[in-house]
Copies of this chain bind each other. A is one copy, B any other.
């Protein structure tokens, strides 16, 4: 019997055990460019071992609810940040580690303009946009050797909205 996971709004407090939320919440840390630009400073730290950070682009196929979660993954050698390049919500799925496997997942819906960075070694679902073009800038480890662990669930979790989510 599959377990339903209901989606929650993404907030820095709720996401804190899993990583950083990148957004413009709160006052800007600094005004730059003669007052024309707000800088929200250092919203995510990059933490990479055995390699260097680089920037890649991911383009993912949009999904729709309900979302079947049959696998989660983690990267023991580095943080991984996802910065959406289209101004749309996406789904972020994370789980605590329980004896080397993901515990019960939590699913978050971003607001448009929010990105996330997963802490090093944090269990997370694959990239899950809801809208085309599903384009993301990704800051993660560039290096040799393995940096991916996958965990497949015997029974998928089902990610649902409590209320019908209307895609635009």
Contacts and interface: CB of A to CB of B under 8 A. Distances in A.
B60 A54 contact: no
A59 B28 contact: yes
A2 to B, nearest CB: 19
18 contacts: A24-B59, A33-B127, A36-B60, A36-B61, A37-B59, A37-B127, A38-B58, A38-B60, A40-B59, A42-B56, A43-B57, A46-B53, A55-B83, A85-B85, A85-B87, A85-B113, A86-B86, A87-B133
Contact-size category for A = 35 or more
Interface string A101-136: 000000000000101010000000011000001010
B133 A57 contact: no
Contacts of A142: 41-42
Contact of A46 (B33, B55, B87): B55
B22 A137 contact: yes
Contacts of A155: none
